[in-house]
Each structure stands twice: as structure tokens, then as C-alpha cells.
Amino acid sequence: MSPKMLSKSTLNDSITELPPLGMDVLSLVDDYRHYYTHNLGRDRHCRSAHYAYQALTLILRDRIMERWKESRYVYEERDGKQAYYLSLEFLMGRTLGNAMLNLGLTETSTLSLQCLGLELEELADAEQDAGLGNGGLGRLAACFLDSCATLALPVTGYGLRYEYGMFRQQIVDGRQVEEPDHWLRNG
């Protein structure tokens, strides 16, 4: 059964047109408190670096989505060509710092977290490396997409989201034993 589609008249601009999100310290503090308590269901008794990190990523994701949406509109208006890059690996590394830098929010995020009694370094340490590659091919794919973004080219990367990513190796009784890397254990 296919999902029911809404008529075009039902989906109007009043649903999707929102005021821009604030980029100042107070806006980030308010959004952080909202995400931490309402979206993640945490309270003052939770001291988990994981949830503190997650709240920050939600703040950044929303601001990235605003830019992504605007870029998509520009590409659609120009009716130009777009490129799609398919790779089996993307070795992106940790993305928190890169997201803050690209949004121009590194200093503002640091100050906002300090207002809440948190340190950016502690939250950044909670970020897991994405288990999406292990070397040359994954690094090449990540660098290619980064270059395209820097040049403002309309390129979208597609890949596989591996459940277990890389594997861990241990030596047990003189023999190599491989174990899956549960990089998605926290979501």
C-alpha cells in the first residue's frame, strides 16, 4: 500500500516557512535546554556526556538544514545539473568541529556551553568516529566531497551505512581474534 499523499493545496508555505534560527549565545542556550529536556528526555540528574553531545548536534543539525534547504532551492531555481557521488566508503572523521566551523559557531557554541556549565572539549570527546571506511578510498571520497562543498558545486554523496563498520582486533592466546566495531551503539 502506497502512502497517502497530501494535496498540493494542503502543503503551503505556512507549514515550512519558519523564521531563521538564532546564531547568538542566548539562542543556542535556549535551544540546548529545549533539546536536552524535550527531545532527549533528560533532566538535571542525567550527567551523560553522550546526551550532552546529542543536544549540541541537534542544534547544529537544524542550522545546517536551513542552509541545505536554501541551497536546494537555489539549485532547483537554476535548473542546472547536479552530480551524485557513490562510494562504498566515506572516511569523514569526526564532524562536530567541522559543522561548528562551517556555521561560524565555534566561539558562540563554546560560550553557550560555558553558560550551561559544560565544556566543548568534553562533548567533542563523546563523538564516535563513523565506521564508514578504513583508508584510501574512504579518505578520497571524503576529500572529494569536501572540495566540492568548498567550490559550492551541487554534489551529493551516497554510500552505505554499515551496521558494524571497522572491526577490532585482539590477540587472545597468541591468536588474532576479530570483533565487530559497534559504532552505532549510541544511535
pLDDT, tens digit, for every residue of 56-81? 999 999 999 999 999 888 888 888 89
Q: What is the CATH number of the domain that holds 129?
A: 3.40.50.2000
Domain of residue 156 covers 21-180
Q: HSE on the CB side for 118, CA within 13 Å?
A: 26
| Structural domain count, the chain | 1
Q: Residue 187: what pLDDT? A: 62
Question: Mean pLDDT in the chain?
Answer: 88
12 part of a folded domain: no
11 part of a folded domain: no
Asked if residue 6 has pLDDT above 80, the reply is no
Whole-number Cα distances in Å, 106 to 13, 80, 153 = 32, 33, 24
The pLDDT tens digits of the residues spanning 84-141 come to 999 988 888 889 999 999 999 999 999 999 999 999 999 999 998 777 777 788 889 9
Residue 58, SS3? helix
CB 116 within 8 A of CB 166: no
Q: Residue 90: what pLDDT? A: 86
CB 159 within 8 A of CB 132: yes
10 part of a folded domain: no
Angle between helices 49-78 and 96-103 (to 10 degrees): 50
8 part of a folded domain: no
43 part of a folded domain: yes
The pLDDT tens digits of the residues spanning 33-60 come to 999 999 999 998 998 999 999 999 999 9
3 part of a folded domain: no
